[in-house]
Structure 1
Amino acid sequence: MAQVIDLSRGGIGVFAGPGRARNILALLGLLLLTACSSKPYEPAPVDEIRPGILRGYLSVADLPDSLGLLPAPPALGSAAEAQDIWLSGIALTLQGSPRWALATQDAVYTFPEVAGTFSCAINAPINEIDTPHTYRVLRRSLVDAGYSTAVAKNHYKRPRPFMVNSQPTCTPDSELALRDNGSYPSGHTAFGWAWGLILSELVPERTNQIIKRGRAYGVSRMVCNVHWNSDVESGRTMAAATVARLHADPVFQLDMAAAKQELAELISRGLPPSRDCAVEAAALDFTPVL
C-alpha cells in the first residue's frame, strides 16, 4: 500500500518572488529553448520537501487561498449534503468492481507509479527516462495543487464518508491518517485535475481523453469512499486556480515548453502507453452517474 504523505502538514518551502530581471531572463530562456533546440534545456536541481516529494513551483504566499475562494462545505441537513450522501451511496455500489480497482490504483500518488496515470489518455508513456521534463512538471505541480487545499482542509476538518457510513475504503492502511486530514476540499482531485489541465495544453490533440481521465481521477476518491462529491468539485476549483497561477511562474513556463517539445517527439516515435488501456477503458465505462 502506498505511503500516505499529508500535504496539508508543514510548509512546502518558499521561493523568492520573481523580480523584473528574473522575468526577463526567464523569457529570454524560453525563446532560446524554442529557437535553439540543439542545446537541451537543463533545469536547475530542485530539493525534496519530503522523501520522494519535490518542492513545488509556488511559495506558500503565492498559492490560491482555498478558504477565501471556496464556500463552506454543505451544512448538516442541507439539500447539498443530501446530494453528497446520495452520490456516496451510488459510489458504494462499485466496491469490488473494475472501477473500484482503478480507484485503488488512483489512490497511489507516489512517483514513479503515479506518472502513468495519463499514459492511456495521451497514448504514450510518461516516465523519468522518456519524458523527464513532463515528469518534473507533474511532480512539482502535485505539491502546488495539493497544498492549495490545505488551508480550507485544516479550517473545516470535514469528516470523510467512511467516518460517517462506516463502510470500507479502497486504502484501509491509510484510514488512520485520513481521519486526521479534512475531507473538504479533495487534495487528490486538485492535483489530478491540475495534471489534466496541464497535459491537455501539452498534448492538445488528446484534450478530450486527458480531461476525461482527469475528471475520473477525482471520481475515484468518491469510489474509494474517502471523499464526498462536493469535496471533489471544490478540489477542481482549486486545481484551476493553481494552474492559472502557475502560468505566471517563469520556471514553470520553461519546464512546460521543454515538456511540450519532448512529448511531441515521443508521440512521433509511436511508443505504446505504459498501462493496459483496454482494462482502464472498461473500468471507466463501468462508472454510473458519478
Structure 2
Amino acid sequence: MLNHLRKCFFVCALWGAALCFAADDVKPYMGAEDLPNALNFYPAPPDTGSAAFAYDVAQYKWGKSMRADSARAALAIAQGTVDIAEMMALFSEAFGMEISEKKTPAIFYVVKRGVLTMRLAGRGPKNHYMRPRPYMYFNEPTLMPKYEEEHRSNGSYPSGHTIRAWAMALLLAEINPAAQDALLKYGYEWGQSRVIAGYHWQSDIEASKAIIAGCFARLHADESFLADMKKARAEFKRLSTAKKKSK
C-alpha cells in the first residue's frame, strides 16, 4: 500500500493532481446551464418545404452515393464510435502522435474533459426539436443497420457525433497548431461520415459546428480548463522534442 501511494504521489507531481482520476472519474468543466444555449441563438431545423431542406435532401443522396466507395464507407463506419478513447486513437494520425491515456495523459485528460463538457450543449436542441433522421424520413437502410432502432428515439438535430468530433479537432488543434489543417479536415470528414451513413442531415452537421464554436469560446473563460490545457501543451512540447532527438 505504501509503495502504491508513493507511485500515485509521483504521478501527481508530474502531471498534476487532476490526472490521478481514473478515466471514469473525469467530469465536465461546467454544466449545460453554463454553456451557450443553441435554442437562444441558432435557428430551428429547416422546414421541409424550404430550399435549405432541399439541400439536405441533395446531400442525403450524395451520402448514399459515397457508400459505393469502399474506403470512404469504411471510414464512415469507423467514425460511428462515440467512445472518446477510440476517437482520440483515430485522430492520432492527423495529430502526428499517438494519443492515449497511457502515453499522453495530460492531452488525453483535457481533451476528454473538454469533449464531455461541450457535448452537453447538444442535448437541449436534440430533445426540443426531436427531428426525424434521414433514414426514418425516407424509410431506407443506413450504412450501420445495428444502430437504427436505438436512434429512432434520439433527435437528429444537431449531430452528437459531430459535436464530439469537432470539439476534439479544435482542442487538439490548440495543443498542436502545426497540425491544425489536418485535424480540422479530419473533424470535417467525421461530420460528413454521418451524412454518408444516413444518420444525419447536412444541416444537423452545420448546427453542431456552430454550437461547438460557442462552447469552445466559453471553455476558454474557465480557469481549470486553461490550466489543464497549459499542461497538455507542455506535455506535447516535451514529447515532440524527445521524438526529434531520437531521430
| TM-score, normalised with respect to structure 1 | 0.75
Taking only the aligned residue pairs, the percentage that are identical comes to: 36
Matched, 1:244 2:217: yes
1:116, 1:217 → 2: CA distance? 14
2:231 to 246, 258, 265: 258
1:235 to 208, 228, 244: 208
2:22, 2:27 → 1: CA distance? 6
RMSD, aligned CA: 1.9
1:107 to 80, 83, 95: 80
Matched, 1:43 2:7: no
Shift of residue 268, structure 1, vs aligned partner: 3.0
Partner of 2:124: 151
Partner of 2:4: none
Partner of 1:167: 140
Shift of residue 200, structure 1, vs aligned partner: 1.2
1:230, 1:90 → 2: CA distance? 14
Note the alpha carbon deviations across 1:150-181, whole angstroms, 9 max, x for none: 11111110001111123322332222221111
Matched, 1:135 2:108: yes
Matched positions, count:
230
1:71 to 39, 43, 48: 43
Shift of residue 251, structure 1, vs aligned partner: 1.1
What is the one-letter code of the residue matched to 2:130? K
Using a 3 Å threshold, how does the CA distance of structure 1 residues 169 and 46 change in structure 2: closer, same or farther? Answer: farther
Deviates more, 1:181-190 or 1:228-237: 181-190
1:87 to 59, 73, 96: 59
Deviates more, 1:59-68 or 1:162-171: 162-171
Using a 3 Å threshold, how does the CA distance of structure 1 residues 180 and 54 change in structure 2: closer, same or farther? Answer: farther
3-state SS of paired residue (2:66) = coil
| TM-score, normalised with respect to structure 2 | 0.87
Q: Please tell me whether the aligned partners of residues 175 and 232 of structure 2 are also in contact (alpha carbons under 8 angstroms).
A: yes
Greater per-residue helix proportion: 2
3-state SS of paired residue (2:15) = coil
Q: Please tell me whether the aligned partners of residues 46 and 54 of structure 1 are also in contact (alpha carbons under 8 angstroms).
A: yes
1:43, 1:67 → 2: CA distance? 37
1:158, 1:227 → 2: CA distance? 10
Q: Please tell me whether the aligned partners of residues 114 and 171 of structure 2 are also in contact (alpha carbons under 8 angstroms).
A: no
1:128, 1:64 → 2: CA distance? 29
2:243, 2:169 → 1: CA distance? 21
1:53, 1:157 → 2: CA distance? 30
